[in-house]
Amino acid sequence: MPYDLSIVIPARNEIFLSRTIEDILKNIKGNTEIIAVLDGYWPDPSIEDDHRVTLVHHTESIGQRSACNEAVRLSKAKYILKCDAHCSFAEGFDEVLMKDMKDDWTVVPAMRNLHVFDWVCKKCGTRSYQGITPVSCLKCDNTEHFEKDIVWIGKSNPISTSYCFDPQPHFQYFKEFKHRPEGKGDLTETMSLQGSCFMLTREKYWELDVCEEKFGSWGSQGIEVSCKTWLSGGRVIVNQKTWYAHMFRTKGGDFGFPYPISGRQIQSAKSYARDLFFNNKWPKQKYPISWLVEKFWPVPGWSQEQLDELKKGEKIEISEPDVTPVPHMSCERKGPTKGIVYYTDNRCEDRILHLCQDHLKKAVGDARIISVSLKSIKFGENIVLDLERGYLTMFKQVLEGIERCETDVIYLCEHDVIYSPEHFEFIPPTRDKFYYNISNWQVRAMDGHAVYWDCKKVSQVCAYRDLILEHYRKRVKMVEEIGFSRRMGFEPGTHHREARVDDTTSDFFSTEIANLDIRHSKNLTSSRWSPNEFRNPCKNWRESHVNRLLGWENLKL
């Protein structure tokens, strides 16, 4: 008798595949099998024999989507559940999912974060959260002797139950949705998926081609699966009666992504998804993207103007689910205009300055660049201020650039930061907040050593012009009158101390390809290379090398 459910696992350089399979076998209660594709490697530790487990080995990698498709071809089950090779599950998850399943649904359990292991200092016993191999202990002088202690805990906080995508399209967590009436209950809808786990019938898997190999090996899979389900007339559901936990990797080091992936590949997958779904080129598409966005409106990352622009090219009336597939139509989005305010004190090392400028020009495309310097430079539309380097001068430079730049959205850019193109794809979803990209590594120019911690920096901020203009006018006036105090803060909208400039607030976003804050001998602000240098504990401290960071493997400083 065939199995009811096949769990397919594409695995490439996965050190926790054995533990994932062990966890699944422990928690399945139904007639369920596992099909794992060893994509160009042999797992260590090895997989123990079990009649419910089928292993397929390739001497050379065929890619994540191809591996999924090969596993599904071996299945004869009614249902397919794809999951990553670093996941754990609730007891009886398979029976819960199958019991509530409908044939035109794609379903995912509620998602937790998987705490797989701690690093333990073998000298003093200090524990640190999973990540790259430590280079030093936080409490003693040990720099070599550490071991992994496997804990394998599906953390109870946070629990993610809703996801979406912005106009790029770029994956987003949809935290606000869980507080809306339609986001509460045992079975709730979600606009998009995270991609590490999803379940649907085997028939729908092939009908919708949910692992279409034209997307490439990796990237945008949650968007692909959710769009193909929704836009063909199905539903994407989160079953909150059960859960799975997914291990999230740091970007870089020996704890990075198992499949090699470049920024170009990630962008290619996004571009293909946008062209396929936004331009209604997918043959099975019955609904336009605007229908899906409006179904979950308001959606983070989308403004009303963007939605209106999207709908202008759509000439289809939505009525019943079984409508005739939409013909191809153009839905090109113009969106708000973008401008770059680039400021420099002209003290950056030439090689770093030129490297950062070259990357910035490539990253921003046709966005307007206003450069504000203390000496004349040939970069963008240059404004020169005859002032001495300092904090007030920096604020005046930013203000001068904002006043000259009359675009809808403004991004503040510093002369010694290398920006990812993704950074400028983000558009603030509201006009009353500053938005910071927290995907930002500090990199030492002399040797490429990179460190990360959660923080908001001025060099990573963007906002609508009217908001940022008003703030910097107030900031310059305040500093001119009473002088600069660090209690005033550098970052707009990030604190509510008495010395604050105004009452604006902020939010954050995070790009897959990080920005790089290059630290050299002439930075205006000091650098920190150890958690011990912080007055208050920093969050999510990580260390790596710049060439181990996603998208920057070939960068030469």
Alpha helices in 84-220 (DSSP H): 93-99, 202-208
Amino acid 260: pLDDT: 61
Residue 115 parent element (H or E):
strand 105-121
Q: How many domains does the chain have?
A: 2
Name the residue with tokens 């998850």.
93
Residues 128 and 245 both lie in one domain: yes
Same domain, 449 and 531: yes
Do residues 265 and 108 make contact, with C-beta atoms less than 8 angstroms apart? Answer: no
Return the pLDDT at 300.
Answer: 87
Going by the DSSP 8-state scheme, the letter that residue 278 receives in this structure is I
CATH of the domain at 259: 3.90.550.10
Q: Are residues 112 and 237 in the same domain?
A: yes
Residue 182 lies in a domain: yes
| Residue pair 154/245 in contact by the 8 Å Cβ criterion | yes
Rounded Cα distance between 489 and 508, Å, is 17
Q: Is the pTM of this model over 0.85?
A: no
Distance between start and end Cα atoms, the chain:
60
Element of type H or E holding 451: strand 449-452
pLDDT value, residue 470: 93
What whole-number distance in Å separates Cα of residue 375 and Cα of residue 386? 8
Tens digit of each residue's pLDDT (9 = 90 or more) over 267-311: 788 889 999 999 889 999 999 999 999 999 999 889 898 888 888
Q: Is 291 helix (H, G, I), strand (E, B) or coil?
A: helix
Burial bucket for residue 490 (CB in 10 Å: 0-12, 13-18, 19+): middle
* C-alpha–C-alpha distance, residues 139 and 170, integer Å: 39
Spatial distance between the Cα atoms of 380 and 367, rounded to a whole number of angstroms: 10
Q: Last residue of a domain, which of 271, 293, 323?
A: 271
Residues 166 and 74 in one domain: yes
Low-confidence residues in the chain, pLDDT < 70: 249-264, 313-335, 524
Domain around 108: 5-271
What pLDDT score was predicted for residue 329?
33
Check residue 326 and give its pLDDT. 33
8 A C-beta contact, residue 362 and residue 354? no
Q: Residue 312 domain-assigned?
A: no
pLDDT in tens, 497-533: 888 888 899 988 888 889 999 988 777 677 888 888 8
pLDDT of amino acid 262: 57
